[in-house]
Structure 1
Amino acid sequence: MKSQSRNKIIFYKQDILGLEAIDIGKKLSHEINPITSDAKIGMKFLIIMDELFTSSLSNNSEYGKYLAIRNVGILLEPELKTDFIQILDKYSSLNTLFVKWDGEIEDGILYFLTKEKGQKIDIKNLSHIVI
């Protein structure tokens, strides 16, 4: 985490003691519910997400400044037109980003839900570790 890599992303499956991850699926879906029929939902979603992520930054003597998120499926919703890789890149370039990943991870590929039927996301170009 103290390395000078371009990104600092930690994907984890089991809860980490002392790390409070925000449930972004729950929080963001609550925030966007009133604007779901808005033609500019994608743009408004990014603003809402940025405000949530910025206000949820934490500081820890071991991890430094970090953001910890879980329930990330909302970031993969096609209607919201988000770029999941860009989101990971943006929020891990200045701070450590902890992502609780409930899907599978293999050789730099994230599988949302399952390897057989899930969405495949190539993260090989992002500096990350899996614990």
Structure 2
Amino acid sequence: RKSSRLNMFLKSNLSPTAEKCYDFLKSGNATGRNKAEALLKEVSAEESLSILKLLSDDMNIGEQVDKRIFESFISLITCRQELKIEGLNIVKAIPLQKHDVAFVGKLTPLIDILTDAETSELEGLYSQNEPLRKAFEAICDLKK
């Protein structure tokens, strides 16, 4: 309930361009992501952070993370790299039981922009689960 009010506040304070960008990203499809990426240069850093928070709530509604919206979430971070730390913190805050191998696979574009120290933070998260650890290591091997 508290999150819903915060989301209403965040969305109501978005400019028309930022709202369009959010709607494109929330669609969870590649076409929407491409349209959003084109608009992101017109969106302020503050609004980009609001979009990131809105997408975070949108992707975490059910038992599992909505992987289509998660892809948009990662796309936003890779386009607006100043959101990297906030995005990484959101990923680490998602309960591990909501992570699966497909989820870890969607992290590839994020891992590509992480420092070694930031990558180690995620590695620590996945070290607790053998299939996720193996998937994460495979992605990191591709980065090398």
The normalised TM-score by structure 1 is 0.45
Larger proportion of strand: 1
The normalised TM-score by structure 2 is 0.42
Larger proportion of helix: 2
